[in-house]
Amino acid sequence: MDDALILLASEVRKKTLWLLEGVTEEMAQFVAPGLANSILWHAGHALVVVEHLGVVPASGGPPVLPAGWFEKFSWDSQPRTISDWPRISEVVLHLQRQLPRLVEAIAGLSPQRLEQLHDPGSDRSLRLEILHGLHDEANHQGEIWLLRKMFAKRAP
């Protein structure tokens, strides 16, 4: 078991959820001038990235995401072309439910498994892949924070 990795996952997710507290649907959908993504997209993206870079490789199981969410929130998504967004409360619920699955998967990994290459064509260990997903989520926290500030300062 890697206590540091579990602690990092818990701390990163706790901050993401804190940043999403009180976000209304209007705030969640807001896209600031000159930017492409909303708070909703950043939150959903964190969910998708951690699922695909952390939970799936650590657990060996399939992704646990609602149908169509990978296409909406992945690194290849085109947010401007999407009109059927889920509610922010749905994304928050999935973020809350994902953390115990990630922690359980990490807790079951041996140090040797964490150091194995994630896939043969990659130079990333499973540990580094999980860290990469959590680092990506932490980066998107900054975008969520920025969009909250920009929403509060927008012209009425």
Structure tokens at 48: 């998708």
| 15-31 tens-digit pLDDT | 999 999 999 999 999 99
- The structural domains of the chain, ordered by start, are 3-153 (1.20.120.450)
pLDDT level of residue 119 (50, 70, 90 thresholds): confident
Q: Which amino acid, one-letter code, is at 138?
A: A
| 82-112 tens-digit pLDDT | 989 999 999 999 999 999 999 999 999 999 9
List b or e across 103-130, with b for residues whose CB sees 16 or more CB atoms inside 10 angstroms: bebbeebeeeebeeebeeeeeeebbbbb
d(CA 103, CA 119): 21
Q: Which amino acid, one-letter code, is at 100?
A: P
pLDDT above 90: percentage of residues in the chain: 84
- What values do phi and psi take at 125, rounded to 5? -75, 170
d(CA 26, CA 16): 18
